[in-house]
Structure 1
Amino acid sequence: MFRYGNTNVDAIKLKLFPSSLSGDAKVWFYELSPGVITTWEEMRQAFVSRFFSLAKFDRLMGEIRGFSQHPNESLVDAWIRMKDLLCSCHGHGLGRGTIIQIFYHGLDEATQAILAARGIFLCRTPNEAHQLLKDRVLLKLDWYKDIKAKPLRKTVAFAENRDNS
């Protein structure tokens, strides 16, 4: 976001907000009576109450709290899906510690064992565990998966070529 001179940040948000909308949200915005909403907080509350009902919030919170890793889903894909759920649930209010606990307990035993072996959830604060999961482990596991898969393909190709000789 930018700031020009002494312009109020809320005024900037109100000016930029319509350009972020599409579909039903854009129609809703342009049907608002002029002057009804005068502050950013009023706009935020009106938008959330219109497009983010309590029933939807409860459903999404249930999905987050009931998170579980799908069969054959990688740790990376599970983490991305968890992050998508969190982003879709405006105002979930969950701290990093709670998010990490829900995520970890939703993983299958094999994935939990990988994380435990790497010390991700042992003697770590929620922020440290979150950061390690985000920055290091996912990249290393993804890299390791690629490296491990490549020699297997070469071995299979070599064996096939040897059989044809």
Structure 2
Amino acid sequence: MFRKEYIRIESSTQHSSVNDFVVINIPEEDVEPKQIILDPDDQPMWESAKTVAPTPNSAIIQLDVDDNFVINSTHLNMIRENKFDGYLRADPHDHIREFLAICNMFRYGETQSEAVKLLIFPFSLCDKAKTWFNELNEESITSWEQMRKAFINRFFPPSLFNRLLLEIRNFSQLVCENLTEAWLRLKNMLRKCHGHGLTKGAII
């Protein structure tokens, strides 16, 4: 390998204003090697990092399923279209009821039904609910019933239950509504207060 250097030679002719250039090939080995020093402060911060933190595992344990196990794409799409966001007006019991109704429309192996629920339940969550799920301890959920209880306890806490029960006990017919409308409004309040334990006599 050679490198080229250009040497300018001025003409000796008095009236000539043209400069001549001579090309000289110098063997590459004759070139003194250059040492490049990189300042660590000039490097991108992601290159200077020595270690990369491991990605956390899911809150759900690693499930034992068959190698050829596949979740129906239609099933998964229906779950994604019925998401729970975790905001105040969202009813976790209604979400679980709808989730199970969709799951019951599809059939998998007898031993795979619980695995399917656990695998696809996170895809039914968004916003605050998905943040809550991602903050659960790694591999802390080992069964569907445990997942259901953790979900209900978070989004239907005792404080919410007590508030709904108090609203029911203080219920009264509004001036602008007839008896039928008042009765339907009360039934809707009762439906949202899961586990209220009120008898028909107490409700009437």
In the superposition, the TM-score normalised over structure 2's length comes to 0.41
Higher relative contact order (CA 8 A, sep 6+): 2
Structure that is richer in strand per residue: 2
In the superposition, the TM-score normalised over structure 1's length comes to 0.49
Structure that is richer in helix per residue: 1
Which structure would you say has the larger Rg? 2
